């Protein structure tokens, strides 16, 4: 098992990424993508040009958005409904509302291990069996073309390829940014 931990010295936050490889050759071949994925997790999205968020209306969020890492596309529809399309091929039904100029999005679909790709299958299955629904809180920037904020999900602690401890609800908090693709 390969475990990479990155500490943000400015905030003190620690990010970790673990994967299992058959041999060192496989690890070497995937080293670049591992590091890119790990650092993408730790990076804050580019700060939008506008200092303060724009006013949110349903008509501005309806459409197709390119999601964060692991989510290829998010389609938000009228009436507070939506769907996320994961890189693993899974689809997650979503609901959303606008509260205090913040877009709140939450998972409606039952959990699937495919929501937690690229975690090892046993960890993804453990999460799928006990995780709380994922949630996002986003604000609108750049003339309605960027939603930026945080995603909160359940975390599982792993050590040397084994699950250690219980699930940590709300323990996986990440900065995310969605970019509008179409209306």
- pLDDT of 48 reads 44
**CATH class of residue range 46-182:** mainly beta
Q: φ and ψ at 156, to 5 degrees? A: -130, 130
- Answer whether 134's CB lies under 8 Å from 153's CB: yes
Q: What is the mean pLDDT of residues 132-154?
A: 94
Q: Which residue has the higher pLDDT, 88 or 4?
A: 88
| Torsion sign, CA atoms 103, 176, 144, 51 | positive
- pLDDT of 156 reads 79
Average confidence score pLDDT of the chain: 82
Q: φ and ψ at 51, to 5 degrees? A: -70, -45
Residues 49-71: tens digit of each pLDDT: 446 889 999 999 999 999 898 89
Q: Which residue spans of the chain are classified as CATH 2.40.128.30?
A: 46-182
- pLDDT of 118 reads 83
19-24-26 Cα angle (round to 5): 65
pLDDT > 90 fraction of the chain, expressed in percent and rounded? 48
- pLDDT of 164 reads 60
Residues 84-97: tens digit of each pLDDT: 999 999 999 999 99
- pLDDT of 32 reads 66
């Amino acid at each position: 098992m390969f475990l990479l931990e990155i500490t943000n010295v400015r905030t003190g936050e620690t990010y970790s990424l673990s994967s299992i490889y058959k041999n060192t050759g496989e690890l070497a071949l995937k080293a670049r993508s591992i590091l890119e994925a790990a650092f993408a997790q730790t990076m804050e999205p580019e700060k939008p040009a506008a200092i303060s968020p724009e006013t949110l209306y349903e008509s501005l969020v309806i459409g197709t958005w390119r999601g964060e890492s692991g989510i290829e596309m998010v389609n938000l529809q009228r009436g507070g409904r939506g769907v996320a399309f994961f890189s693993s091929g899974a689809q997650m039904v979503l609901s959303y509302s606008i509260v205090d100029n913040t877009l709140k999005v939450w998972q409606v679909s039952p959990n699937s291990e495919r929501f937690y790709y690229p975690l090892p299958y046993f960890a993804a299955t453990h999460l799928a069996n006990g995780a709380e629904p994922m949630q996002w809180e986003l604000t609108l920037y750049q003339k309605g073309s960027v939603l930026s904020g945080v995603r909160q999900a359940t975390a599982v602690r792993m050590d040397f390829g084994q699950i250690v401890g219980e699930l940590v609800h709300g323990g996986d908090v990440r900065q995310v940014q969605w970019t509008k693709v179409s209306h």
